[in-house]
Amino acid sequence: MRLIVQRSKNSSVSINSKVVGKISSGLVVLVGFTHTDTIKDIEYCVRKLINLRIFDDDNGVMNKSILDVGGSVLSISQFTLYADTKKGNRPSYIKAMNGSVATKLYDIFNDKLKEHVKVETGMFGADMLVSINNDGPVTIIIESGD
């Protein structure tokens, strides 16, 4: 499982020109799954995400988590996080999990995340327009597994 985490002042996701999810202060999380991912991977990533200290404290040091600052998460499914570009110029997505399985894991990921923070989402498999106002910029990659 792979997460691209971006600290955000405000961000949104639209489908067919209609905003379906938006947050003010918080994290935008691009979420990708590979074939070997399980509930344990989800639990690991959720735990890492909610405790990731990338928000400034009173001294301007990144020392607070999303739990500490009361932020929200905009969660976006993105199979392209598992693109393989080693051969040629056209990415291969063979490492990405099949959509019918990945959508179930994505829902579980969001449900587990909702136990801790407010979560907004796009729509799995939809053509989305994601507007991210990356604060900092701060971008972190979280991966489960070895």
* Domain extents in the chain: 2-143
CATH fold for the domain made of 2-143: D-tyrosyl-trna(Tyr) Deacylase; Chain: A; (3.50.80)
Task: Give pLDDT tens digits for 23-72.
Answer: 999 999 999 999 999 999 999 999 999 999 999 999 999 999 999 999 99
Q: How far is CA 122 from the centre of its chain?
A: 11
For residue 80, indicate whether it is catalytic. yes
How would residue 125 be classed by pLDDT, with cut points 50, 70 and 90? Answer: confident
Q: At residue 146, does pLDDT exceed 70?
A: no
The CA-based dihedral angle spanning residues 1, 37, 108, 83, taken in that order and rounded to the nearest 10 degrees: 40
C-alpha 101/C-alpha 32 separation (Å) is 12
Active site residue 79: yes
- Catalytic residue from among 6, 33, 55, 78: 78
Tokens of 65: 């988590």
Angle at 107 between CA 113 and CA 95, to 5 degrees: 105
**Is 55 an active-site residue?**
no
